[in-house]
Amino acid sequence: MDETLREAADLVATAERVVIFTGAGISAESGVPTFREALTGLWERFDAAKLATPEAFDEDPALVWGWYEWRRALALTVAPNPGHIAATEILADAGHATLITQNVDDLHERAGATGVLHLHGSLFTPRCSACARPAALSPAPDGEPGRITPPPCDRCGAPIRPGVVWFGEALPTDGLEAAVEAAANADVLISVGTSGLVYPAAEIPQVTARMGGAVIQVNPEPTPLDPVARVNLRGPSAEILPALLRQSRPST
């Protein structure tokens, strides 16, 4: 690990343009469940097709809204971990920095990051399912996930939906374009805690590699990105990112 960490730290220290691209794994050590991991992933306990598609919301809005309200409540009880904080600091050290996340929690922002590109939306930006008018958040519920009837839109009365991107929906055009441009121009892209299975987000590190930038991957498990990454740092991001930050700073 020491040698690969040194190699990654040298890449970060000499880069002008740095991108950090994150997935659910960076929030795992804060207590937010990932999606696809055996035993602990959300899709082990819940059926993605019944919860994370527009068809599921049309079919049973109270089931879907209740599940997302439960997840919002959970996100409010947790805090950023040392991985989120180190990510903010690595980017603060770079000449030109972009943070791209697939996560719908706000833990990067709570760790001090600004201008975060959210490719899959947010638990904290509900909107009307018909006219897209932004809606206010209600107090978060207590306890386990349960059915909650979504409130009606102030303007048109249609049910309010979570501000996330479901399967089959387009990603926000501005955010995706900005992410692709940052990835294409990056000297270094650090991919953290993503299985790399969900497209088009999974293309982002591939764009950097194709354009000749270096990809560093931080993940305890192998992923389809392994062969594309210049350096694979195997381990939890709450340990690896602070170590990478320390090594990439000149010693005093």
Q: What is the set of active-site residues?
A: 120
DSSP string, 156-172: T-PBEEEEEPPTTSPPP
Q: Which is nearer to Zn ion, 110 or 127 (CB)?
A: 127
- Assess 135 for contact with Zn ion (CB under 5 A): no
Which parts of 159-178 interact with Zn ion (CB under 5 A)?
A: none
Measure the CA–CA gap between 6 and 248, rounded to whole angstroms.
Answer: 8
Instruction: Quote the least distance from Cβ 132 to Zn ion, whole Å.
Output: 7
Q: Between the CA of residue 26 and those of 237, 239, 241, what are the distances in Å?
A: 6, 11, 10
CB of 164 to Zn ion, least distance (A): 17
Place of tokens 């997840």: 71
- Among 26, 153, 179, 229, which residue interacts with Zn ion (rule: CB under 5 A)? 153
Q: Cβ of residue 221: shortest distance to ligand BJW, in angstroms?
A: 4
Specify the residue, 16 or 167, whose C-beta has the smaller distance to ligand BJW: 167
156 scored as a contact of Zn ion (CB under 5 A) = yes
**8 Å CB contact between 42 and 213:** no
Strand intervals (E) in the chain = 17-22, 96-101, 117-118, 121-128, 160-164, 188-192, 214-218, 231-233
Rounded to the nearest 5 degrees, what angle is found at the Cα of 34, between the Cα atoms of 28 and 40? 95
Q: Which residues bind ligand BJW (CB under 6 A)?
A: 23-25, 28-29, 34-37, 41, 52, 102, 104, 120, 164-165, 167-170, 193-195, 197-200, 218-221, 223, 236-237
In the list ligand BJW, Zn ion, none, the entry touching 128 (Cβ below 5 to 8 angstroms by class) is: Zn ion
Positions in the binding site for Zn ion (CB under 5 A): 128, 130-131, 133, 153, 155-156, 158
